[in-house]
Structure 1
Amino acid sequence: MGRLDGRRAIVTGGANGIGRAIATAFAREGCDVFFTALNDEPAARSTRAELRGYGVAADFTLLDAAATGAVDRLMDAAAAAVGLPDVLVNNAATATRTGFLDLTPEEYDRVMEVNLRFPFFATQAFAARLRAAGAPGSVVNISSLSASSAVSAMAHYQCSKAGLSMLTRSAAYELAPFGIRVNTVSPGLTATKSNAVQWRDDPDLWRERGKDIPLGRPGRPEDLAGAAVFLASAESAWMTGGDIAVDGGEVAL
């Protein structure tokens, strides 16, 4: 405990799933947390109460990552709530299942706006503020194994995650002189709100999918939290541009 004492983090998409698990783990380690939620205010209030229970400052804002001016609103709100953040977790994402030949420009644009454009400019704004303050920091991008492994009916999502993984490498290279590190966590098959129709409503299918994972089961949101804490902490001080696969061994196949 205490590995993030004195740190201040932004976690996008922090009210549910992987984002909530990361925000909770950060608070448990002494980090003040400001997080976003799309529209689930009850879940956001519950998350905030849980985080504050660890004795840290915590607050949230409802934010559509695709909305005009979303990045500036987030950075201003976070600074007002917890002070200048020195950790940014780009976790918020959206996904749909649509075959390549049926994908519309509107659907494509929405996924790219949320999954790639917003993290790109959030990282830019975050780094610019740290550079102006002469302070170091850490960015943790939550990508996916599907950034490098094709799955049917998700070409737009996979392209967005592949772009996010390259953003990690490009930003890591350019921001290293300022002491700002950028790394990726790539989850494998994990039970989240977006795929609840499988693990909640079709548990037999979920178990069947988990059989192909060497460790024998799909992931849970809390399985991802430790990697994010590590990348946000001084324990990974000589690591930037890297990617940690948290996948039960899928990457080995």
Structure 2
Amino acid sequence: LDLNGKIVVITGACGALGVAVVNKLCGLGARVAALDIIEPDAAVNCFDAPEGQVSYFKCDSADEVQVAAAFSAITEKLGAPDTVCCHTGIVHVAGVESYTLEDFDELMRVNLRGTFVVAQAATKLWLAEGAQGNLIFTSSWVQDVPWPELTPYNTSKSGMKAMMRGFARELASRGIRANAVAPGIVGAGMALKMYTEDAAYRARTDCAIPLGRLQSPESVANAFAFLVSDMSSYMTGSVLTIDGGCSLYPNI
């Protein structure tokens, strides 16, 4: 894969998966605008990429004013992006009977509103310039197979899948594509912490992955690299599921 000349925006860039994606894309030659909510001084130490390939912009992806300002700054510094990755997401773990409405509202704000705000901003930019565009949404295998104690999260990912397909259907005739990556249970972040510390979660997880091992962040980054590349140019409205077989059957 050769991504030289590609300009890619990714939200949630400083999380474990985001960092892996940024490093992969930069390693293949892309220039990346990395967006997250942490302070710039902390963000500069997140990435392993040649100098000048990553530009960081502090931005709350659910805030339309901040997103508009970020896109303006990105375009001024790097040029209009070829691909925009709506990657920001959060998760809270609780049974449906104890899940607070505050946590529910926060999750939907970040996972669904944030995704829509960023995808809409990118769409407006491409349409205004008469340019082709490529949207990538980060969904999850749980969009189709509910995972216990994550019901609002499962719901947000199902909604994201529907949102992605809506963008793809509406915008295909105007040169804008939309696809999603649906990872499985990744050995990073909260999933790895729970796998390491919670014996019941570990047992359930071990039963849920037919390939028998946690997913590496690099395997997710490889999927992004493919969707950013011209090799995926005839794809729109598709979900690229890379989950080790978790979604094959509800064995949890």
TM-score, normalization: structure 1?
A: 0.89
- Determine if contact 1:21/1:221 at 8 Å carries over to the other structure: yes
The one-letter code matched in structure 2 to 1:7 is K
More moved, 151-160 vs 86-95: 151-160
Corresponding residue of 1:165: 161
Please state how far the C-alpha of 1:207 moved relative to its aligned partner: 7.2
Structure 2: unaligned runs, 5 residues or longer: none
Q: Is the 8 A contact 1:185 1:228 kept in 2?
A: yes
Q: CA deviation at 1:84?
A: 0.9
Once the two structures are TM-superposed, the CA of residue 210 in structure 1 deviates from its matched residue by 3.1
Q: How does 1:94-243 map to 2 (within 5 A)?
A: 94-201=90-197, 206=202, 209-243=205-239
CA root-mean-square deviation: 2.2
| CA distance 1:209–1:153, change in 2 (3 Å) | closer
Which residue is equivalent to 1:11? 10
CA deviation after TM superposition for structure 1 residue 216, in Å: 1.6
For structure 1, the residue ranges without an aligned partner over 5 or more in a row are none
Match of 1:33 in 2: 32
Residue type matched to 2:158 in 1? A
SS at match of 1:47: coil
Describe the shift of the 1:194–1:38 C-alpha distance in structure 2 as closer, same or farther (beyond 3 A). farther
Amino acid paired to 2:171: L
TM-score (norm 2): 0.90
Answer whether contact 1:58 1:82 (CA < 8 A) is retained. no
Match of 1:248 among 233, 244, 248: 244
Q: Distance in 2 between matches of 1:87 and 1:105?
A: 34
Percent of aligned positions that are identical: 29
For 1:106 and 1:174, locate their aligned partners in 2 and report how far apart those are by CA, in whole Å. Answer: 33
Closer, same or farther: CA 61–178 of 1 in aligned 2, 3 Å? same
Cα distance in 2 for partners of 1:216, 1:189 equals 11
Q: Distance in 2 between matches of 1:192 and 1:64?
A: 22
Question: Structure 2 vs 1, CA of residues 99 and 200 (structure 1 numbering), >3 Å: closer, same or farther?
Answer: closer
